[in-house]
Structure 1
Amino acid sequence: MGIADKAKNAAQDALGKAKEVAGDVTDNDKLKAEGKSDQTKASAKQTGEDVKDVFKN
Protein backbone atom coordinates (compact mmCIF):
# COMPACT_ATOMS: atom_id res chain seq x y z
CA MET A 1 0.00 0.00 0.00
CA GLY A 2 1.26 3.41 -0.82
CA ILE A 3 1.91 6.15 1.63
CA ALA A 4 -0.63 8.31 -0.17
CA ASP A 5 -3.36 5.72 0.42
CA LYS A 6 -2.50 5.53 4.11
CA ALA A 7 -2.63 9.30 4.37
CA LYS A 8 -6.00 9.48 2.61
CA ASN A 9 -7.47 6.84 4.88
CA ALA A 10 -6.10 8.56 7.99
CA ALA A 11 -7.45 11.92 6.81
CA GLN A 12 -10.89 10.46 6.13
CA ASP A 13 -10.89 8.84 9.58
CA ALA A 14 -9.84 12.10 11.26
CA LEU A 15 -12.47 14.06 9.38
CA GLY A 16 -15.07 11.52 10.42
CA LYS A 17 -14.06 11.83 14.06
CA ALA A 18 -14.25 15.63 13.81
CA LYS A 19 -17.71 15.45 12.25
CA GLU A 20 -18.89 13.06 14.93
CA VAL A 21 -17.64 15.34 17.72
CA ALA A 22 -19.11 18.42 16.04
CA GLY A 23 -22.43 16.64 15.68
CA ASP A 24 -22.32 15.65 19.33
CA VAL A 25 -21.54 19.19 20.48
CA THR A 26 -24.26 20.73 18.32
CA ASP A 27 -26.72 17.90 18.99
CA ASN A 28 -26.89 17.21 15.24
CA ASP A 29 -27.65 13.53 14.74
CA LYS A 30 -27.15 13.71 10.97
CA LEU A 31 -23.62 15.09 11.35
CA LYS A 32 -22.78 12.44 13.96
CA ALA A 33 -24.00 9.73 11.59
CA GLU A 34 -21.95 11.16 8.71
CA GLY A 35 -18.87 11.15 10.94
CA LYS A 36 -19.37 7.54 11.94
CA SER A 37 -19.96 6.61 8.29
CA ASP A 38 -16.74 8.33 7.22
CA GLN A 39 -14.81 6.46 9.89
CA THR A 40 -16.32 3.15 8.83
CA LYS A 41 -15.45 3.79 5.19
CA ALA A 42 -11.87 4.69 6.09
CA SER A 43 -11.54 1.54 8.17
CA ALA A 44 -12.90 -0.63 5.35
CA LYS A 45 -10.50 0.92 2.86
CA GLN A 46 -7.60 0.36 5.24
CA THR A 47 -8.59 -3.27 5.70
CA GLY A 48 -8.77 -3.73 1.93
CA GLU A 49 -5.33 -2.26 1.50
CA ASP A 50 -3.97 -4.50 4.27
CA VAL A 51 -5.38 -7.56 2.49
CA LYS A 52 -3.72 -6.46 -0.74
CA ASP A 53 -0.41 -6.12 1.10
CA VAL A 54 -0.69 -9.65 2.47
CA PHE A 55 -1.15 -11.10 -1.00
CA LYS A 56 1.69 -9.05 -2.47
CA ASN A 57 4.11 -10.69 -0.06
Structure 2
Amino acid sequence: MARRHPGAVTVSACVGRYGWNAADVAGRVPGNEVRELVDACCDAVVAALARSRRPS
Protein backbone atom coordinates (compact mmCIF):
# COMPACT_ATOMS: atom_id res chain seq x y z
CA MET A 1 0.00 0.00 0.00
CA ALA A 2 2.91 2.35 0.65
CA ARG A 3 3.87 2.00 -3.02
CA ARG A 4 0.37 3.04 -4.11
CA HIS A 5 0.33 6.04 -1.75
CA PRO A 6 3.90 7.32 -1.32
CA GLY A 7 4.10 9.80 1.52
CA ALA A 8 0.60 8.97 2.75
CA VAL A 9 1.43 5.46 3.98
CA THR A 10 4.80 4.90 5.63
CA VAL A 11 6.47 2.28 7.79
CA SER A 12 6.28 3.29 11.44
CA ALA A 13 9.73 3.95 12.79
CA CYS A 14 9.30 2.50 16.27
CA VAL A 15 7.58 -0.73 15.28
CA GLY A 16 8.52 -1.01 11.60
CA ARG A 17 10.18 -4.35 12.18
CA TYR A 18 6.74 -5.81 12.83
CA GLY A 19 5.27 -4.51 9.58
CA TRP A 20 3.15 -1.75 11.13
CA ASN A 21 2.38 1.29 9.02
CA ALA A 22 1.35 4.87 9.58
CA ALA A 23 -1.37 6.17 7.26
CA ASP A 24 -2.56 9.69 6.57
CA VAL A 25 -6.30 9.12 6.73
CA ALA A 26 -7.28 12.75 6.04
CA GLY A 27 -8.44 11.91 2.54
CA ARG A 28 -5.16 10.94 0.90
CA VAL A 29 -5.86 7.23 1.27
CA PRO A 30 -9.33 6.02 0.19
CA GLY A 31 -11.56 4.77 3.00
CA ASN A 32 -11.73 1.23 1.67
CA GLU A 33 -7.94 0.98 1.74
CA VAL A 34 -7.82 2.35 5.30
CA ARG A 35 -10.27 -0.40 6.25
CA GLU A 36 -7.94 -2.93 4.60
CA LEU A 37 -5.07 -1.67 6.76
CA VAL A 38 -7.16 -1.87 9.93
CA ASP A 39 -8.40 -5.37 9.07
CA ALA A 40 -4.85 -6.56 8.35
CA CYS A 41 -3.71 -5.04 11.66
CA CYS A 42 -6.44 -6.80 13.61
CA ASP A 43 -5.71 -10.10 11.86
CA ALA A 44 -2.02 -9.80 12.74
CA VAL A 45 -2.76 -9.08 16.39
CA VAL A 46 -5.16 -12.01 16.70
CA ALA A 47 -2.72 -14.33 14.93
CA ALA A 48 -0.05 -13.42 17.48
CA LEU A 49 -2.27 -14.41 20.41
CA ALA A 50 -2.00 -17.83 21.95
CA ARG A 51 -4.74 -20.06 20.53
CA SER A 52 -6.44 -20.21 23.93
CA ARG A 53 -6.75 -16.40 23.97
CA ARG A 54 -8.06 -15.96 20.41
CA PRO A 55 -11.70 -15.06 19.87
CA SER A 56 -13.81 -17.89 18.52
**Structure 2-normalised TM-score?**
0.46
Q: Which has the higher contact order (CA 8 A, sep 6+)?
A: 1
| Structure with a larger share of its residues in helix | 1
| Structure with a larger share of its residues in strand | 2
**Structure 1-normalised TM-score?**
0.45
